[in-house]
Amino acid sequence: MTIGLPLTKTNLDNIMGMEIGAVWNSLDVIRVRLLWLNDAAHNTTFMGTLGYTGPEDTTIRAAYTDLDSLRQIAHATGAKGVATIGQAAAANDFFFSAKGLGGPNWYG
């Protein structure tokens, strides 16, 4: 007796499609939140009224900016970095600032 989904091409195709869609949707959510953060009405003063300190606001904005860079690269609308002749492009830890927001749910 088998428990769970059987391993078939159809099931695997469906699962892979859902996984890719989840990444796409997650990156789009990041884009929308960054647009919200960048709106003039949601400035540092506004974030302060919600209880965020200046450094917390900076971390939040940096996290979403970094993750939006990942979205741009994933959609071929942004570049990872520009390398000079004979040099490798600079590495970018897209989760550098986001690690500070993950708390107990950080998987890295």
pLDDT in tens, 61-82: 999 998 998 888 887 777 666 5
User: 84 in a domain, yes or no?
Assistant: no
User: 23 in a domain, yes or no?
Assistant: no
pLDDT of residue 103: 66
Number of domains in the chain: 1
The CB-based long-range contact list for 71-77 (8 Å cut-off, 24+ gap) reads 71/27, 71/28, 71/30, 71/31, 74/23, 74/27, 75/27
pLDDT class of 24 with cuts at 50, 70, 90: confident
Residue-number span of the structural domain to which 62 is assigned: 52-74+91-101
User: 36 in a domain, yes or no?
Assistant: no
User: 80 in a domain, yes or no?
Assistant: no
pTM for this entry:
0.74
